[in-house]
């Protein structure tokens, strides 16, 4: 948390996203006092929640009383701008959200939805956490993850490349190699 010379507080936004899913457990826990206090303690000023198809509505707050400013919305056609202006992203374990965030180089905590049947999503989150590209958490352990995270220890993710597949497909179909 820092103040510029003209007294305006530097905004450090935490962006929470559930993608196109319904993940009330994450929205609820992001809105709970424990987590909000922890985020404030770690120097964040704003909490913006994209709540998707969920039914739990967070409590909006202007944050003037020395706490986190809280706002939310359901969907937007592209969350890229929100991701870009965030200092920390807390996301559901969807691959789209994960890779969009990693490609922008933003620190990321992935929260796995334990209510999903056949939770294959956790495989991806755990693998990337093992490679130290993000932190992986469950709703009930989110505040501990926030308290203990060291964002400097995260390894930047090198974006993947689809050209090898394109080459293989072209070669299979008999198209000539690109010059």
Partner 1 sequence: MEKNTSCFFSNSSPNLVITCFVAFITIILVRFLYVIYRTGKPLNKRTSQQTLSTLIVLGSGGHTAGMINLLLVLQKDRFTPRFYIAAATDNMSLQKARVFENSLVDSGAKGISAEFMQIYRSREVGQSYVTSVWTTLVATAHALWLMIKIRPQVVLCNGPGTCIPLCVIAFIFKVVGIRWSSIFYVESIARVKRLSLSGLLLYKLQIADQFFVQWPQLQRKYPRARYVGCLM
When asked if residue 76 is in the footprint of partner 1 (CB under 8 A), the reply is no
Site string for partner 1, 17-46 (x = CB under 8 A): --xxx-------------------------
In angstroms, rounded to a whole number, what is the distance separating the alpha carbons of residues 111 and 93?
6
**DSSP class of residue 62?**
-
Please, what is the minimum distance in Å from the beta carbon of residue 163 to partner 1? 5
Strand, coil or helix: what is 38?
A: helix
| Binding residue (CB under 8 A) for partner 1 from 67, 99, 138, 147 | 99
**In the beta sheet, which residues pair with residue 49?**
16, 72
Q: Is 63 exposed, middle or buried (0-12, 13-18, 19+ CB in 10 A)?
A: middle
Number of neighbours of residue 177 by Cβ within 10 angstroms: 7
Stretch that binds partner 1, among 26-34, 55-63, 94-102, 146-154 (CB under 8 A): 94-102
| Binding residue (CB under 8 A) for partner 1 from 74, 76, 95, 141 | 95
- The first and second tokens of residue 15, run together, are 């962006």
When asked if residue 169 is in the footprint of partner 1 (CB under 8 A), the reply is yes
The closest of 29, 40, 37, 13 to 107, measured between CA atoms, is 13
Strand pairing of 88-92 and 69-73?
unpaired
Nearer to partner 1, 27 or 129 (CB): 129
Strand, coil or helix: what is 29?
A: helix
Stretch that binds partner 1, among 43-51, 59-67, 95-103, 143-151 (CB under 8 A): 95-103
Asked if residue 11 lies in contact with residue 1, where contact means CB atoms within 8 angstroms, the answer is: no
Please, what is the minimum distance in Å from the beta carbon of residue 116 to partner 1? 11
For residues 134-163, which are near partner 1 according to CB under 8 A?
Answer: 159-163
| Binding residue (CB under 8 A) for partner 1 from 45, 87, 91, 121 | 121
In angstroms, rounded to a whole number, what is the distance separating the alpha carbons of residues 118 and 144?
26
Please, what is the minimum distance in Å from the beta carbon of residue 68 to partner 1? 29
Binding site for partner 1 (CB under 8 A): 19-21, 94-96, 99-100, 103, 120-121, 123-124, 127, 159-166, 168-176
């Amino acid at each position: 948390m820092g103040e510029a010379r003209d007294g305006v507080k530097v905004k450090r936004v935490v962006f929470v996203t559930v993608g196109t899913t319904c993940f009330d457990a994450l929205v609820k826990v992001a809105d709970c006092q424990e987590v909000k206090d922890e985020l404030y303690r770690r120097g964040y000023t704003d909490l913006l929640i994209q709540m998707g198809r969920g039914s739990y509505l967070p409590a909006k707050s202007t944050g003037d009383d020395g706490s986190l400013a809280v706002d939310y919305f359901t969907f937007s056609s592209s969350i890229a701008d929100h991701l870009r202006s965030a200092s920390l992203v807390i996301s559901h374990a969807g691959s789209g959200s994960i890779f969009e965030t990693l490609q922008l180089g933003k620190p990321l905590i992935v929260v796995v939805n334990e209510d999903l049947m056949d939770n294959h999503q956790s495989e991806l989150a755990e693998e990337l956490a093992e490679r130290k590209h993000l932190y992986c958490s469950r709703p009930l352990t989110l505040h501990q993850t926030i308290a203990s995270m060291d964002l400097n220890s995260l390894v930047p993710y090198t974006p993947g490349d689809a050209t090898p597949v394109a080459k293989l497909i072209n070669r299979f179909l008999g198209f000539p190699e690109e010059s």
